[in-house]
Amino acid sequence: MVTPVSVSLSGPAFSFLLYENSKCRFQQEGFLLGKIIRKETKTITDNDQQQVNVSITVKINSVMPLPQTHYFYNGVGKVDEHKLREFLGNQFDTVVAWYKYQKISSFKFTLRNKTIHRQLTELFKISPELFTCCLLINEISDNGSTHLYSQAFMRYHNGVYDKLSIHIPNLSEPNNTYKESEPASDTFNKILKDLKIDKNNAQGLVVISKIQSAVQKHVDTVIKDLSEAEKYLHELEEEVKQLEMMKKLKQLNEVDIKEPQDTKRVENVFSEESSPEPQSKSNRPRDPIDSTSSQDSQENSPVVQRKATRGARKGQG
């Protein structure tokens, strides 16, 4: 029996995903958070036979974009588990899919993407037919007035990658049908529990006002905490940019320091090649001992002796 698998993407998660894609210039990657729901539906046929239909839904209710592409893997697609766990933190166990976005008209699941997908399947310990990858593309009209976003969820099943059906509640549904309600979140259930409303004696308008006030108060608290977190994240991003600039300047300075040394070596090599050959003995400067011996030889020469004798004869005369 084949169990149908589908993807349910909530409205807030879908809008947040498109918002993250729209403010990205070229491409983006991230993870989709949620849970996998297994649903059994029992039906009774006309022959009073009971049938059980099983369906699996990958329910996505949040998005976690990465700060940059190729963040958790290298050029050949090797996933860095330590870096991935450090980034996801306590949301590691809620990951049900990952996504890739590119601002192009068509998108193919490359060999590197398939390698990354298989490693993530083993890392998150999710069955291959349930762990999906969302491929998103964006097409813009010639005059730039229309932006068309397309998405497809891929999974590895029976040796091939096939697409899953996507369902977004209350989107593209006719107006004459009933709207489908999503199960209440744990946060909303907690708010209702803290109000302690008496269902028997409470009036409808009063209950709705109390719930609205409690929800608005919770939203204001979340906005304040989120604003502080965004501010801290912005400070960290600026600090990272400064550190990267300092690292690049340091590398440039090291290159500039090495270049003069290399030029000196080259100059020394050229000077050694262009230096004249050693002088011959005739051109060498005379040694002091050689000069004294030459002077002695000149004094003892017959020419010098003749001059001395002539001077002596004049003195006698």
CATH code, 5-183: 3.40.140.10
Looking at residue 30, its pLDDT comes to 92
Q: Pick the residue with more confidence: 296 or 249? A: 249
Q: Counting beta carbons within 10 angstroms of the beta carbon of residue 199, is it exposed (0 to 12), middle (13 to 18) or buried (19 or more)?
A: exposed
- The model carries a pTM of 0.62
Q: Pick the residue with more confidence: 247 or 266? A: 247
Burial 173-182 (b: 16+ CB within 10 A, else e): eeeeeeeeee
Query: What residues does each domain of the chain span?
Result: 5-183, 184-253
User: Average pLDDT of 253-258?
Assistant: 77
Average pLDDT score over the chain: 78
Looking at residue 118, its pLDDT comes to 92
Looking at residue 175, its pLDDT comes to 62
Instruction: Check: CB of residue 211 under 8 Å from CB of residue 195.
Output: yes
Q: Encoding tokens for residue 177?
A: 């049908």
